[in-house]
Amino acid sequence: EKMEKKNHQNSTLSAASSSVFFFFFSVFFFVFILFTSNVSSQQPLNYTLRQVQIITRHGARTSYGDIPNNAATWNCYSASASIPTFGGKMNEISNVDRLYSTYYLKNRQILKGNCSQGQLTDVGLNQHFQLGQYLRQRYVNQLSFLSYNYTSSELFLRSAEIQRCIQSAQAQILGLYPNILLNLSSNSLQSIPIFTIEADADNLETNLRCPKLIQLCNLVQNSSAWLSLLETFAPLQNELATSWKIQNNLSKFPTWPFLYQILESRLFKNLSLPGVDNKTLETISKIASSQLGLFWKDDERVRLAVGPLMSEILTTFKNFVENKNISNKNSKLDKLIFENFSGKNNNNISEPKYVLYSAHDITVSLVLRALGVWDGFWPGYASAVQIELWEKNGGNREEWGVGVVYNKEKMMMPGCGGWLCEWKRFVKIVGEVEMSEEQWEKKCFVGSPVVPVNDLSAAIC
């Protein structure tokens, strides 16, 4: 999914169509309940929330590629709207009388229609808007943790350098702060910064930058467990290949994770799933999740895939705990804040209370795996991991705690004895997988180029 550069329904399936519709309805009902139901107002007794770091998957998107011989027509609206600014004056934009919209030319893209591959859809935007509403309910209305109105010093927003992730973050913040950000005195709109790092340097997207990880992921796909899984589901592959008329050319059959993501994308775009009923879709989801689990079964692969990001997350919390909300200019996150926000006193700047990483399904699953709470299932669109830092009232550094919430469910980290994990135990858990960028670069070095055996080693692992 992280690779940006890669590249008629059968009448006998009428019974399957109703089953797929039921699955489609069930998924949307789940999303509705997930993001609109009341949030528990419970909080640890005698603790105060001090900081939260949130890692999300973008919302529903168009697919990469399509079902062989069954390409759908994908229709999208404006991909983005923006206005150029001059001289770096982004804090306030005044006298706005126009916006520039970009569109993809119809039937000139890889997919049929006017959508690009991986483009965020209206459903995806709405998912993150609803996620923002849920986060507002928890952090503004219930816990009074964030200010009622948007306050730039409280938030640090970062996104993978991909439009669907950036736009998901925008929609989420719109749900978190729905009021119009208009400076009435100057009749100007306030700009909300979302920071990004180019993919070749971003710790949200480490796979293609780490030859050792690609090498290990190539080996996984030759393991007995992997080959046994493929053998078990070879009959299903043949059945689908026959349905799609590619039984004589199985090279056109997508890998199971990519097939699942194609079906997932079509499902949320209300497009047909030829040859796939509800039971088959569930089976394909389990196969894809099992293969993802095999990739992340080994701690070394997990460290290479998410070690630098976990280091950043831990360091951000450490700065807050050790400096009592006074920033440490030596940390990577604080350097970003100091270097990108002008007009602040660099000797005394508050740590952001709310840190967002808008990323991918693989990022979400890796963070969960690193914390010991991954449930083994592929993260759905707009999935969110909330890592909350709590301080005991009147306590000292030893009495801080960390709690993890995944899609509104409290997760129990191993060896913590409860939802709120003691600070020392949390540091130990993360310490087993985190590593600095410098350590990571040394671990990734193999001395010669490594070529991914397929799109899984390149984009999933």
| Nearest-angstrom CA–CA distance, 337 and 197 | 14
What six digits make up the tokens of 329?
A: 């200019």
| Sequence letter at residue 146 | L
Identify the three-state secondary structure at position 440. helix
Q: Is the pLDDT of residue 429 over 70?
A: yes
Residue 159: φ, ψ to 5°:
-135, 150
**Does the structure show a pLDDT above 50 at 35?**
no
Confidence of residue 397 (pLDDT cuts 50, 70, 90): low
CA distances from 197 to 156, 160, 336, 418 (A): 14, 7, 11, 36
Please report the pLDDT score of residue 115 as a whole number: 94
**Least confident stretch, 83-87, 129-133, 326-330, 411-415:** 326-330
Give 93-125 pLDDT, tens digit per residue: 666 778 888 889 999 999 999 999 999 999 999
Cβ within 8 Å of residue 327, ≥6 positions away: 319, 334, 337, 338, 348, 349, 350, 351
Q: pLDDT band at 20, cuts 50/70/90?
A: very low
- pLDDT recorded at residue 6: 39
344 with 152: CB under 8 angstroms? no
What is the Cα–Cα distance from 350 to 51, expressed in whole angstroms? 11
Our measurement of the distance from residue 407's CA atom to the centroid of its chain's CA atoms, rounded to an integer in Å, reads 12
pLDDT for 180 beyond 80: no
Contact 352, 153 (CB under 8 A): yes
What number is the average pLDDT over the span 246-264? 96
**DSSP-assigned letter for residue 200:** G
Work out the average pLDDT over 291-313: 96
Looking at the predicted structure, is the pLDDT value of residue 327 above 60?
no
Task: Dump pLDDT digits (tens) for 199-233.
Answer: 989 999 877 789 999 999 999 999 999 999 999 99
Please give the pLDDT value at position 24. 41
Tell whether the torsion through CA atoms of 305, 311, 312 and 313 is positive or negative: positive
Q: 362, 384, 360, 358: which is closest to 158 by C-alpha?
A: 358
- Amino acid identity of residue 11, one-letter, is S
Predicted TM-score (pTM) of this structure: 0.86
Token pair listed for 375: 């449930």
